[in-house]
Amino acid sequence: MIGLAFANKMVSDLRSDTAIRGPDGEVVRQGITARTVSSFVNEHLRPTLEGSGPKFEASRETLRGKVLVLDEASLVANKPMNDLLTIANRLGVEKLVMIGDRAQLQPIEAGKSFSLIQSDNPAIARIDTSLRQRTEHMKEAAGLARAGMFKESFASLGERVVEAGADHLKVTAQKWLELSPEDRERTAIYSSGRAARGELNRMVQQGDRKST
């Protein structure tokens, strides 16, 4: 099995998320081999198009009987998707599994290849169970957002949403500083840009120094 993804961060996530870990979090079995779509296509497309010769045979031997798993398929544009399908069809790949959501982000380059493939009625398995969201209120909010009910999604969070206006950075840092050490370990702060991130880091570090 070979995992494929659009960007290096997604490749890293594929490796990490498929690793098997022990009770203390240690890796007892490595995750699947994974790489970017670009590097995969660059290695195998030219030999595939040649159709014969040592490089063609080497690529075919490498991929024969393999299962390719493409994550976040909606991000792959027409050209690289066509190249990937060409490789899979001509080199004896056992199966190409595409994972994604056509309602999410679209490719930067031209085309909506994932949507086009689905319009041809391929075999599809739909997963409605939310795995990324762990708590019930976040699962509800995510489900409403997926259905396009954004107002209802935010409303379902109730008092968990804090509107702070111009002081939002100060309020965010203060709320994090008020957490216990245990809660801090499992709480992340996300900002809308570099400037906000830098200011938040400064406020948090300054607050930490005052409390010690």
The domain limits of the chain are: 2-119, 130-160, 162-212
Euclidean distance between the first and final Cα of the chain, in Å? 50
Per-residue pLDDT 10s for the chain (212 aa) are: 999 988 888 888 888 888 787 777 777 788 888 999 999 999 999 999 999 999 999 999 999 999 999 988 888 888 999 999 999 999 989 999 998 876 665 556 666 777 778 777 777 777 767 666 777 888 888 888 877 888 888 888 888 788 888 889 998 999 889 999 888 888 888 888 888 899 999 998 888 777 66
What is the reported pLDDT for 102?
A: 67
Contact (CB, 8 A) for 74 and 114: yes
What is the reported pLDDT for 88?
A: 94
Collapsing DSSP states into helix, strand and coil, what is residue 98? strand
3-state helix, strand, coil in the chain (%, to 5): 55, 10, 35
Strand partners, 68: 2, 96
- Reduce the secondary structure of 103-131 to three states and give it as a string: CCCCCCCCCCHHHHHHHCCCCCCCCCCCC
Contact (CB, 8 A) for 87 and 63: yes
Whole-prediction pTM: 0.63
- d(C-alpha 111, C-alpha 116), whole Å: 9
What is the reported pLDDT for 45?
A: 96
Sequence-ordered list of residues with C-beta below 8 angstroms from that of 197, at least 6 positions apart, any chain: 191
Bridge-based pairing of strands 20-21 and 27-29 is antiparallel
Considering the domain delimited by 2-119, tell me its CATH architecture: 3-Layer(aba) Sandwich (3.40)
Strand partners, 36: 5
Half-sphere exposure of 170 (CA within 13 A, CB side): 4
Sequence-ordered list of residues with C-beta below 8 angstroms from that of 103, at least 6 positions apart, any chain: 146
Crossing angle of helices 54-63/78-90, nearest 10°?
90
The b/e string for 25-42 (b: 16+ C-beta within 10 A; e otherwise) is eeeeeebeebbbbeebbe
Crossing angle of helices 78-90/37-50, nearest 10°?
50
